[in-house]
Structure 1
């Protein structure tokens, strides 16, 4: 009989305590077994603010308010790059704050949310019953789609928790919120910089927003995987971590940001800093756009159409799926030919290897330029090496990769001049000539609008950084500018300089640090494989 997979690895119920040295914790319960190493690993991420969580409450009267709760998640990664997902529910308003943590190997987000909702309801009744409930949940196996979790040995309070999510999906459910927060083009540019393995810091007063945003962004690059530092919520004890030379995605509470900058002492010059309350970059360099192909311009226009839907509450789940499918289709257009690009290694320990030259020969010029930068990343190296190993182990890699299951034809609308004309106020007129290049905008061109001016979307660019702005927040000034360049008082480019950026076909150069990190990780991966063999 096939062994069934357990739903969770561990559940921990923490309570903050105060000691002379500062803040510590009490483990109220842990199921299915006690593990102090795991407790010490998880606790700092549950309360990243440190001892201020308790110090600010001294001398005040607090009552338990279960309505003021915070939901968030983070990922634990071991030295072998194995990941465990941690889903939390925190009550920071208690005099001694508490947090429930579910640790699991698979990200069953909506199911774990329902379990935590039930845990809150039981906590209102009895803390002892809550421990018994967690013990029961620790015995549950992974349910089937539309399956139901129900009591096993916990009979004090009946429960039925339905499993409605599709476990085959590789994304969370809030990508529509992320799109509206950043804007279409800024979101595409963020994904591009993640693919180039840039350093990112995200700021928010909400730890839930930090974890949701970072985990959603990493899910948008599927089937590629972020292999570097991933800390959705940075504990105050790790305040100097952003000085690390390797790429990272780090979330920091806004209240801790000045402390982190002081600890890092200017060591984050190459870090992109994004404020989630504003949905904008507030510090760091402006890198050239990673995605510049006609397909990437079409993607920006498609996303903008969803972003500006006049009925925002209609079919939210469908819109979320559509956004993910748009990104998947975009990557499909670049990578779908890789299945035929493996060559045999007679006598080698790995029977096949990725044939880079054959793959590149199948790309168009725009995608070729992107790949020549992307291939230097650990993300690219691991993706194709993993596929080569799977093929060597006689797996049908076509059945393992979503690129084999996506439609090759376009199926999504975009913002064109017809859409703009339909949404004009009665009596208003607008020229169909692009304000930048002075060429006619046809119905086949994605187009962008600013007031009564129309642009080709490829021409709708910031006059300082030359990035496409479709769907983004614009600065309130005479020339077309992004908010970051306007606030930072970046120098303006001439029309000819912007046109040169549009026509530029230069490969993005890696920095010395990026080259060193990439080389180090590839060498470590190769050494690990030799040891295993």
Structure 2
């Protein structure tokens, strides 16, 4: 388990591909790619299938995205552009889930593919490929060949929630689906159901699946995840474990409904949902009431209003994890499952006991503990909201916590001064980011309620083996030879010639508080001293 996003990404994109459309019995195939050094065989085999997942109407330019999952459970995002005036699809592969950035990049690439020599396209791709990834909140500017315009790549700010209308996925989801059905899908995701989205439009399909996944932040879906299902993978719909899959309407019609079993189906074209479960009714009702109230006021939902409404629901459900942290000098911070349930109102406890079994919750807790025990801490939007939520009540354990942290600071102050001087630039930047973010929430952090519990090792976080499920289609890493597109004697590439022939032949193809950082860091170093690490 863990985050599905890669860390320390060095390049904006991994590979660009132009995919030739299927012709009669011939499947889609890669017409050209950049860079030529990209040689992941499994990805290269999969890209054509996901670019042309089924027969679909292509009346207007449309963008959609797919996801490939590696054997280490990390996601590679594929961003596609289809233009009804062409017979090829354009794809950019990246480890970064920046939909708006890559859709804009694809539009620039499309304007360059008509160049006969292709040199402008390759030069532009090289400039993007070698420019590096801007730090959060910053941007880079790449000039377009033979143009006064530039491609501007803006790196999202850290911990920024998706907003309307800036986030295309969330905007599409909110436009297509009413708030009650959004809440039903949210609840079914918290119960880790088998969930299918359907739509005739690939752009709407992938947008809705990607958006609903973003609305369970800071949790991350840990099971089968396929925003757009290729027809060749239709058997995934029969998998007996949790999944979140976007299925083109015509593809789902090929599967007998009786074979699907218990599954939640959301028709994104008609805003209709079918479910054999009562998941929304089974959530704690005060959480549901607050969420309904937040989503009812449409005037507050522009910007990050929708994202924040669902985030606050998750805070109300899970912020109690703070009260279940066990803080013992010289030991790692751990999570006490029983304390987590018992600290919450009795009306919430039945659901929270079920939540302990969920992989998305276990991933969330493991991520929080890893950040705390590393001494780096965190200041994401979840913790900001949790601070505000926790500040509304007092904690009888706060004084004990302060005594612990005071001792740790006193004993470790000289060590921390030394670490600060020697920290590498990456660590300094991370700490600065946390501190800067914390300034904006100084008042909230003063009210942070960390509740230490006596150490009961038998109930500390050592989760039983979770219900397992395979990831989305997994990809091994193998090399494959690939050559550059050859050029004809007149300088026109074979790719360009093929594109023209294909068009003629196929025109009818239809921060958190500083004290906890000191405590965690001190514990870590004390442990090293004791064990000689």
Q: TM-score under structure 2 normalisation?
A: 0.64
Q: Return the match for 1:203 from 180, 190, 198.
A: 198
Superposed, 1:278-427 pairs within 5 Å as: 278-281=270-273, 283-289=274-280, 290-306=282-298, 319-343=302-326, 351-396=332-377, 398-399=378-379, 402-405=382-385, 408=388
Deviation at 1:158, TM superposition (A): 5.0
Matches within 5 A, 1:117-128: 117-126=107-116, 128=118
Indicate the SS of the match to 1:249. strand
Aligned partner of 1:130 in structure 2 is 121
> C-alpha deviations, 1:290-310, integer Å up to 9, x for none?
43422321211221221xx5x
Once the two structures are superposed, residues 234-283 of structure 1 have per-residue CA deviations (whole angstroms, 9 ceiling, x without a partner) of 11111111111111111111122221x14xx73312111111111111x4
How many pairs does the alignment contain? 381
**What SS does the aligned partner of 1:399 have?**
coil
The superposition leaves residues 403-453 of structure 1 with CA deviations (integer Å, 9 ceiling, x where unpaired) of 23556269xxxxxxxxxxxxxxxxxxxxxxxxxxxxxxxxxxxxxxxxxxx
Extract unaligned runs of 5+ from structure 1. 57-64, 310-314, 411-515, 523-533
Alignment partner of 1:270 out of 249, 262, 274: 262
Cα pair distance change 1:164/1:521, threshold 3 Å: closer
Measure, in 1, the Cα distance between the counterparts of 2:366 and 2:389: 28
How far residue 140 of structure 1 moved from its aligned partner, in angstroms, is 2.2
CA contact (8 A) 2:161 2:304 kept: no
Q: Answer whether contact 1:342 1:388 (CA < 8 A) is retained.
A: no
User: How far apart are the structure 2 equivalents of 1:5 and 1:190?
Assistant: 35
Runs of 5+ consecutive residues of structure 2 not aligned to the other structure: 1-7, 391-463, 471-533
Counterpart-to-counterpart distance in 2, 1:192 and 1:239: 25
Question: Higher RCO, 1 or 2 (CA under 8 Å, sep at least 6)?
Answer: 2
Shift of 1:27: 2.6
The aligned counterpart of 1:213 is 208
What is the match of residue 181 of structure 1?
176
Note if contact 1:175-1:216 (Cα within 8 Å) is conserved in structure 2.
Answer: yes
Choose 330-339 or 187-196, whichever is displaced more. Answer: 330-339
* Residue aligning to 2:29: 25
Matched residues in 2 for 1:341 and 1:142: separation?
38
Q: 1:131 to 1:69 in 2, by over 3 A?
A: farther
- What is residue 438 of structure 1 aligned with on the other side? none
Are 2:194 and 2:262, in contact at CA under 8 Å, matched by a contact in 1?
A: yes
SS of structure 2 residue aligned to 1:266: helix
1:6-54 CA distance string (max 9 Å, x none): 22222222223548x53141332222633243221222111111xx57x
Q: CA deviation at 1:232?
A: 0.8
Q: Residue 111 of structure 1 aligns with which residue?
A: 101
1:47 to 35, 43, 52: 52
Residue of structure 2 in register with 1:519 after alignment: 467
Verify the 8 A CA contact 1:140 1:149 in the aligned structure 2. Answer: no
CA distance in 2, matches of 1:134, 1:296: 48
Indicate conservation of the 8 Å contact 1:13/1:30, yes or no.
Answer: no
More helix by share: 2
Between the aligned partners of 2:249 and 2:216, the Cα distance in structure 1 is: 26
RMSD over aligned Cα atoms:
3.2
- Contact kept? 1:329, 1:407, Cα under 8 Å: no
Alpha-carbon deviations, 1:203-240, whole Å to 9, x = none?
11111111100000000000001010011111111111
Structure 1 Cα separation of the partners of residues 198 and 102 of structure 2: 25
CA distance in structure 1 between the partners assigned to 2:208 and 2:117 by the alignment: 32
- The TM-score with structure 1 as length reference comes to 0.64
**1:352–1:391 CA contact under 8 A, matched in 2:** yes
Quick one: structure 1 residues 4 and 384, their matched pair in 2 at CA, closer, same or farther if it must change by over 3 Å? Answer: closer
Secondary structure of 1:298's partner?
Answer: helix
